[in-house]
Amino acid sequence: MMGSLCPLLLPLSFLFLGHLAYPWKCSDEPRSSSLDPTLRYDLPNYVAHGPIQNLISKDGQEPLVFVAITNHLQVLHGSDLRILQSVTTGPTNSSQCSQCSQCKMGSARPDQPEDTESRVLVLDTEEDILYSCGSSLRGLCFLHQLTGAKIADSKCLFNKMENSPLLCRDCVSSPLGTLLTVVTNRHAVYFFLASSVDSLVAGSYSPASVSVRRLLFTEDGFADGFQSLTVLPQFRDSYPIRYLHTFRTEYFVYFLTVQLEEPGGTAYHSRVVRLSAKEGEMRSYQELVLECRFEPKRRWRSAEPLMPTENFNILQAAHVAPVGDSLAGELGLNPEELVLFAAFAQSDPQSIRPRMRSALCAFPLNLINMSIYRSMKKCCSNVESERRLRGLHYFQPEMYCPYNNLSAPVPDRSCWNVPTLVDLPLYHMDLFNGHMDGVLFTSVYVTSQERLTIGHLGTSDGRVLQVVLQRGSNPLTLFNFSLSDTHPVSRDVTRIGDNLLFVTGNKVTQVSVTGPGCRHLLTCSRCLRAPRFMGCGWCKNGCSRQGECQGEWNQQCCSPIITEV
Ligand SMILES: *[C@@H]1O[C@H](CO)[C@@H](O)[C@H](O)[C@H]1NC(C)=O
Ligand SMILES: *[C@@H]1O[C@H](CO)[C@@H](O)[C@H](O)[C@H]1NC(C)=O
C-alpha cells in the first residue's frame, strides 16, 4: 500500500542525522544493479586542439577558466566554457608570440627555437595576476595582468644581467616537473617552488629542488640570495623526487611527494613537505612520511590466518577541504576542520608504477602539525636516550639531533631551525576499507553537501565516482559515470560556483557538485534514497530532477507496483 510505504523512505541525509537502522522495504535489490554506470550524460564541455597541460579557474562575478596547451594559453568563460581569448606562448621564434620576443635574455637565450609546453599555471586571485612557466627559455615565467576578462599585459620574469648557467635565479620550471604556490607577505610576492631534478637539469640553469624566491618590485625577475635545497650531486640520478601537489594554509606551504624510502633503497613511499609561509627560509623545512593502510578485520572466532596489513604507498592526487559534519563526528574532528584527502595506489614491490588498487585517506592538518611538533621536540630535548639522525641526507650532510643542555641559561632554539625528517610516519586507514579494487584513482576533489562529505574521484579509465565519504562502512556511490573512453582524468580539478571542471585529454568537462543527473538511478527506492542535495525524485518510470519531469514528480513515495514486497 502506498500510504504505508511512504514514511519508510527517508533520504540518506536523515539517516546520518538520526543514525536509524535502514528501515526501507525496497532495499532488497543489490546496490550495483540499481545504478547504471553505462549511462552517458550530455555535459557542457570545451575541446582544445591539443592535450590540456594545465587548467586553473577564477571564481567570482566574472568567472574565468585558463587552459594551457602546447604554445597556447586560452581564456574561457567560466559558466559556458566559450573561448574568449587565445594567447600564443610559442614556438619562441614565432612572430605571433609577442611575450617571447619581449624576453631580453642575452647570452642565456637558447640557440634553437623551442615549443612551449606549459609546466606551471597559478593564479593570484587577490592581485588578478596569472603566472605561467613553460618548458622553453630556460624555464622562465611570465606574469599576466588580467583586466576584465582578458590577459591585458604579459611580462617576462627574467633579467639578463643576473643569470648564468651556474646560478640562475629566474630559472623556475624543470622539464621533470615543478609545483608553485604563490604567497603575498607584506606586499612582497614569494614563489614557493618544488622541482624534480637530475644531474642534467641541476647542472646548468638549475631550478633547484625546493626554493623560495621573492619577485622583484620591478616585475622583471627574482631577488638575489634566495634560499634553496637541491639534491646533492651524488644522489641526483639515483634519487628522483616526484612532486604531486601543493597547497597553503595561513602559516605553512606544503608539497606532497613520491620518493624512494631512502637513497639506495628500492621501495617507494609518499611524504608531505612543510615550510613556513611567513619566513621564506629553508630552516623551517620538514618532511613527514604519510601512510595509507588497510587492515583486514579478522572474522569473529575465525581460524583463518590474519590477512596482512596492506600499504597503499604511491600518492596519486590530493585535495585539502573542510570536512563535513557527519565525517567530522566519525573521525573525532571539529566541523569544518581542514583535512588533506589523499588518493593512493599500491605499487608492485620495488616499483613506482601504480597497480589497479586504490585507497583514500584523510589526514587532518592539525595532526600533521602535531606529528611534526612532537618529533622536533623529541629531537631537541635531552631526554632521548638514543641518538637520532635528522635524515634528509640527499639534501644536507648527515647530522644528529643534538642534546640540549637544560642547565644552559638560555635554551638553544637553533636546534628547531634545521631541515629535519620526522622520525615516525603518520598513518591513517583507507576510507574505502580496501573496496577500491580494479580501480586506479588519478584525481580527488572533496566537497560537502548538507552534513555529508562527498569525494569526487577521477580514474585512469576516464570515469568520475562521486561517493559519500564515511568511516567504518562500505562506501556509498552516488554516481559513477564516464568522461572519456581514451584518457585518464587529470589531477587538476577546479571549481567554479557549483560546478567542478575535469580534464580528460583535450577536453574540459563541467559537472555539477550535485552530480550530472538522476537517470542512472534505476529503481524508485534507490532514487528516493539519494541524498536530497542531488535533487532526484521519481517521475513516472524513471528517476529525474523536477525540471526534467513532465507529469507527477515526488521525493516521498514509490508506487506500489515498483515497491511490491
Ligand atoms: C622557427 O624555427 C623553425 C625551426 O627552426 C622554422 O622551421 C620556422 O620557419 C621558424 N619560424 C619563424 C617564424 O621564423
Ligand atoms: C602546531 O602545533 C603546535 C603544538 O601543539 C601548536 O602550538 C601550534 O599552534 C600549531 N600550529 C598550527 C598552525 O596549528
pLDDT in tens, 261-270: 999 999 999 9
Residue nearest to atom 5 of ligand 2 (CA): 370
SS3 249: coil
Residue nearest to atom 7 of ligand 2 (CA): 373
What is the rounded CA–CA span in Å between residue 58 and residue 78? 8
Question: Omega of the bond prior to 44 within 30 degrees of 0, cis?
Answer: no
Low-confidence ranges of the chain (pLDDT < 70): 1-33, 298-305, 383-385, 403-412, 559-565
CA of 49 to the centre of ligand 1 (A): 21
Atom 10 of ligand 1: nearest residue by CA position: 93
Ligand 2 centroid to Cα of residue 82, in Å, is: 45
Residue closest by Cα to atom 14 of ligand 2: 366
Q: Which residues are within 8 A (CB) of 485 and not within 5 positions of it... i.e. 6 or more apart?
A: 462
* C-alpha cell recorded at residue 196: 624534480
pLDDT at 7: 45
Closest residue by CA, ligand 1 atom 3: 113
> How many angstroms separate the CA atoms of 429 and 450, rounded?
24
296: Cβ–Cβ under 8 A, 6 or more apart, which residues? 306, 307, 309, 310, 434
Nearest ligand (C-alpha, residue 97): 1
Q: Rounded to whole angstroms, how far apart are CA atoms 314 and 161?
A: 42
Nearest-angstrom CA–CA distance, 548 and 561: 23
The number of the ligand nearest the C-alpha atom of 367 reads 2
Residue 372 in 3-state DSSP?
A: helix
What's the gap in Å between 105 CA and the centre of ligand 1?
19
Which ligand neighbours the alpha carbon of 111 most closely? 1
Nearest Cα to 535, choosing from 454, 476, 478, 471? 478
Q: Whole-angstrom Cα distance, residue 455 to residue 30?
A: 22
pTM: 0.91
| 410 Cα to the center of ligand 2, angstroms | 22
Q: Smallest Cα–Cα separation from 218: which of 188, 192, 193, 191?
A: 188
> What do you get for the CA distance between the two ends of the chain, in Å?
10
Q: Which of 523, 477, 551 is nearest to 37 (CA)?
A: 477
CA distance 540 to 555: 12
* 29 Cβ contact list (under 8 Å, min separation 6): 523, 525, 526
Half-sphere exposure of 4 (CA within 13 A, CB side): 7
Query: pLDDT digit string (tens) for 493-531?
Result: 999 999 999 999 999 999 999 999 999 898 898 899 899
Q: For the chain, what is the largest distance between any 2 Cα atoms, rounded to a whole number of angstroms?
A: 85
Could you give the 3-state DSSP secondary structure of residue 564?
A: coil
Q: Which ligand is closest to the CA of 95, given by its number? A: 1
CB neighbours of residue 326 within 10 Å: 23
Which residue out of 71, 92, 93, 111 has the highest number of ligand 1 atoms within 8 Å of its CB and is therefore the one to mutate?
93
Residue 329 is placed in which grid cell? Answer: 563526528
* Ramachandran area for residue 3 (φ above 0: left; ψ -120 to 50: alpha; else beta): alpha
Q: How many CA atoms lie within 13 A of 215 on its CB side?
A: 26
Query: CA distances (Å), 486 to each of 48, 69, 109, 462, 506, in order?
Result: 15, 18, 38, 7, 11
Determine the atom of ligand 1 nearest the C-alpha atom of 113: 2
Reference 197, options 164, 224, 220, 168; nearest CA is: 168
pLDDT at 37: 78
Query: Which numbered ligand comes closest to the C-alpha of 91?
Result: 1
Residues 368/376, Cβ–Cβ less than 8 Å: no
Alpha helices in 147-204 (DSSP H): 199-203
Kind and range of the H or E element at 381? none
The region, left, alpha or beta by phi > 0 then psi within -120 to 50, assigned to residue 513 is alpha
So what's the pLDDT on residue 105?
93
pLDDT at position 127: 86
Confidence at residue 414, expressed as pLDDT on a 0 to 100 scale: 81
User: Judging by beta carbons within 10 Å of its beta carbon (0-12, 13-18, 19+), is residue 529 exposed, middle or buried?
Assistant: buried
Site to probe by mutation for ligand 2, drawn from 247, 363, 373 as the one with most ligand atoms within 8 Å of Cβ, is 373
- Distance (Å) from CA 116 to ligand 1 centroid: 14
What lines the ligand 2 site, CB under 6 Å?
A: 251, 366, 369-370, 373
**Residues with beta carbon inside 6 Å of ligand 1?**
91, 93-95, 113
* C-alpha span between 460 and 440 (Å, rounded): 6
